[in-house]
Amino acid sequence: MKSTSETAERETATEAVPAATARVLPPWARWVLLALAAAAVLYAPFYFAPFRVFQLTLVLVYAVVLLGLNLLVGYSGQISLGHGAFFAVGAYGTAILMRDGDIPYLLTLPIAAAVTFVLGLAFGVPALRLRGLYLALVTLSMAIFLPPLLKRFPELTGGSQGLSVEQPASPAWTGLAEDQWLYYVSLAVAVVAFVLVRNLLRSRAGRALLAVRENEAAAEVMGVRPSFYKTLAFAWSAMLAGVGGAVSTWVIGYVAPDSFTVVLSINLLAGLVIGGLASLSGAVYGAFFVMFVSSVAQDISGAAPGIASGLLIIAVMLIAPTGVAGLVRRLTAAARRRLAKE
């Protein structure tokens, strides 16, 4: 067990600081590849049918949520089995604002972000006193109690029926269909979120966060205040989940308690582990998993998807503890070595 976690950490380190890793591809080739990838991402909504575009948009939404969860679990070494709750608060808050408020929908995003940030802070403080299993249980109960709570106040939340909101329309000047417009809006949110988190991780604050995860006592001796970094990681993590929730309401146009059950929280964590802990790209891979599992969940009834994700987590932990991101890293490294030899 020890040895697998050590390799996992080492790979994290190489990704965190790509500075000196041997690169075979010349810089221009990297830029060409990057440009091609960007072009594909930008062109996707014209290539795929509206339903696929909708699914890809959800992938972007989940990627933002997983990015937040990764900050908490992968980078700060805490755990949350209830991140679906922050996602739900963002989604419901946005739905309520769009129903009642006379504000432009884009404004619901900073509001959802602020509310979930504060909620995250409020949870982050008691989380300091809880470790491992206890923190897992407390966050899990948060996810369990939220749906009944939502049903409890029907005037506000629409009860079990949920709430429908008018989806944001595509501005006329764009000439885009609604699904395409929502795709680009979600893409913009996701890109901003990834840039922010990447900047954070490559800074003094990011190093302090990792230092606390790696060796809390040593970090403290070096002047890092562990409680501060852990609480802020929690708050940022909740905020990103809330942002994802807000965007999901724009995209889906509907919220209901049954979309935010504990299964969602478990799937998010499963997606993160499968995608790759402590890896930025892992959040994207994991998002595909979450979208896929959530969509089959509508076809298969009952606990089947929950069991499937549970088994998948175990399999991934055994076979590829660094997740898809780790596999991809290893494959590209192998390919590079082969290229270098030729």
Partner 1 sequence: MLEVEQLTVRFGGITALSGVDLRVSAGELIGLIGPNGAGKTTLFNCLTRRYTPDSGRLAYDGDDLLRVAPFAIARRGISRTFQNLGLFPALTVRENVMVGAHQHGKAGFWSAPLRLPGVRTEEARLREEADTVLRRLELLHLADHPAAGLPFGTLKRVEVARALAAKPKLLLLDEPVNGLTHGEVEDFAGIVRRIRDDFDLTIVVVEHHMGFVMGLCERVVCLDFGRVISEGTPEEVQRDPAVIEAYLGTEA
Contacts with partner 1: how many residues (CB under 8 A)? Answer: 39
Site string for partner 1, 156-195 (x = CB under 8 A): ----------------------------------------
Nearest to partner 1 of 176, 200 (CB atom): 200
Nearest to partner 1 of 180, 322 (CB atom): 322
Q: Tell me which stretch binds partner 1 (CB under 8 A): 10-18, 240-248, 286-294, 313-321.
A: 10-18
Q: How far is CA 204 from the centre of its chain?
A: 23
84, 164, 172, 174 from 178: Cα distances, Å: 26, 17, 10, 10
CB of 262 to partner 1, least distance (A): 29
CB of 36 to partner 1, least distance (A): 27
| Binder of partner 1 out of 14, 160, 295, 332 (CB under 8 A) | 14
CB of 207 to partner 1, least distance (A): 5
Site string for partner 1, 41-80 (x = CB under 8 A): ----------------------------------------
Site string for partner 1, 200-239 (x = CB under 8 A): x-xxxxxxx-xx-xxx-xxxxxxxxxx-----x---x---
Nearest to partner 1 of 44, 125 (CB atom): 125
Q: How far is CA 314 from the centre of its chain?
A: 20
Nearest to partner 1 of 10, 338 (CB atom): 10
Q: How far is CA 56 from the centre of its chain?
A: 14
Number of H helices, E strands in the chain: 15, 2
Helix (H) or strand (E) holding 286: helix 280-297
**What CA–CA distance (Å, rounded) separates 281 from 302?**
31
Q: Which residues in 19-38 contact partner 1 (CB under 8 A)?
A: 19-20
Check the CA dihedral 218-223-227-228 and report its sign: negative
User: Which two structure tokens, joined as six digits, stand for 39?
Assistant: 């072009």
What does DSSP assign to residue 254? E
Q: Tell me which stretch binds partner 1 (CB under 8 A): 15-23, 133-141, 292-300, 322-330.
A: 15-23
Nearest to partner 1 of 5, 174 (CB atom): 5
SS (H, E, C) 304-325: HHHHHHHHHHHHHHHHCCCHHH
**What CA–CA distance (Å, rounded) separates 179 from 216?**
46
**What CA–CA distance (Å, rounded) separates 320 from 8?**
9
Calculate ∠ Cα 200-44-105, nearest 5°: 60
SS (H, E, C) 331-342: HHHHHHHHHHHC
Return the number of other C-beta atoms located less than 10 Å from residue 154's C-beta: 11
Site string for partner 1, 242-281 (x = CB under 8 A): ------------------------------------x---
Nearest to partner 1 of 129, 155 (CB atom): 129
Residue numbers at the binding site for partner 1 (CB under 8 A): 6, 9-10, 12-14, 16-17, 19-20, 196-197, 199-200, 202-208, 210-211, 213-215, 217-226, 232, 236, 278
